[in-house]
Amino acid sequence: MEEVKKTLYSGVQPTNNLTIGNLLGTLRSWRGLQEDYDCIFAAANMHAITVRQNPAELRQKTLALIALFLACGVDPEKSIVYVQSQVPAHAELCWALNTFTYVGEMERMTQFKDKSARHADNINMGLMDYPVLMAADILLYQTDIVPVGLDQRQHLEISRDIAQRFNNVYSPTFKVPEGLYPKMGAKICDLLEPTKKMSKSAENPNGAVFLSDDKDTVLRKFKRAVTDSENCIKYAPETKAGVSNLLTIYCAFSDKSVAEAEREFDGKGYGDFKLAVGEVVADKLAPLQAEHNRLLADKAYLEKVMADGAERAYKLARKTLSKVYKKIGFYQV
């Protein structure tokens, strides 16, 4: 008897350029995950509009993100790859789940407070409701597993709370998802501020290495990376944040252990070290960039992948939504 795989859901916003942190923390693992799970991967464009977007750019970035998923090894025959807004059930379930979510919970969400501070001129209800939409994304597909970074743990917990709250009122309806947390080393920090996570929306783009950066740009950014005055290449995050961050990046791209990297650079200066890190990153990004560009040149294929994915996602989503509507008393014909 064939073993039934668990369902895994993950989404990425098509905003700004993704960084090597996104690659190492999320995208690179997707190729392997789809062998072990029934995977659903979304371009989360509904989440993106909580901050003002240029419409033409959002459309282009959505297409580019789908191409990136495929370039990273996602197989649209094995996994569902789709655009969030093309499945209306996300918004429909979000509205129902809003009635099981409390204002105080949303006001306490770290991301709401952070984004409100950064976008004080546009503190909209979508920004506050973001976690409920994320809960709808996950619960629509009876998701078992959600890959999450430490900064997303709060969103998964509210999704679990909402699911359990609904189940307690109306009988079991949703699966309560579990988190799949990355192994140590997945957190990549800013090159200029190594105590902060590398962000695709960083104020200074020289602190982030983007997946679209060419080799010269990658090398230039690593050359400027913050280290310290000791000239000792050793992994010690508490006292040598910059050097430790570079070691983490080097090991992640070279598949070497920290101990191996420390031995390799023993007695060498920071200049040689930073160049070596830049070289290994640029060399690993090159084939990914080539495949991404190849896919972007075939718009018809990408649109077919999106249409097929949306159709498959729609069928799964409607099953859950119909069940929810029946339980809350919405008349259906």
Over residues 41-50, the pLDDT tens digits come to 999 999 999 8
In sequence order, what are the residues at sequence separation of 6 or more whose Cβ sits closer than 8 angstroms to the Cβ of residue 183?
none
Q: Would you say residue 314 has pLDDT above 60?
A: yes
Say whether 197 is catalytic: yes
pLDDT at 311 over 70: yes
Q: What is the pLDDT of residues 242-297, one digit of tens each?
A: 999 999 999 999 999 999 999 999 999 999 999 999 999 999 999 999 999 999 99
Dist. CA 134–CA 148, nearest whole Å: 12
| Interval 7-38: pLDDT, tens | 999 999 998 789 999 898 889 889 999 999 99
Q: Which of 61, 175, 197, 274 is catalytic?
A: 197
Mapping DSSP to helix (H, G, I), strand (E, B) and coil, where does residue 257 land? coil
- The pLDDT of residue 113 is 66
* Higher-confidence position of 149 and 18: 18
CA 262 to chain centre: 30
In this prediction, residues 198-219 reach a mean pLDDT of: 92
CA dihedral 310, 312, 317, 320 (to 10 degrees): 180
Closest CA to 79 of 131, 29, 124, 23: 29
Mark whether 78 is an active-site residue: no
What per-residue confidence (pLDDT) applies to 119? 66
Amino acid at 41: F
Which band of pLDDT confidence, cut at 50, 70 and 90, is reported for residue 108?
confident
From the list 5, 6, 187, 200, the catalytic residue is 200
Mean pLDDT of 83-102: 96
| Non-local CB neighbours of 200 within 8 Å, separated by 6+ positions | 15, 16, 17, 18, 19, 22, 208, 210
pLDDT, tens digit (0-9, with 9 covering 90-100), for 167-195: 999 999 999 999 998 665 457 999 999 99
Domains in the chain (CATH in brackets) are 7-181+299-328 (3.40.50.620), 205-293 (1.10.240.10)
Q: Which residues pair with 178 in a beta bridge?
A: 145
Q: What is the DSSP letter of 73?
A: T
pTM for the model: 0.90
200 is catalytic: yes
Give the amino acid at 21.
Answer: G
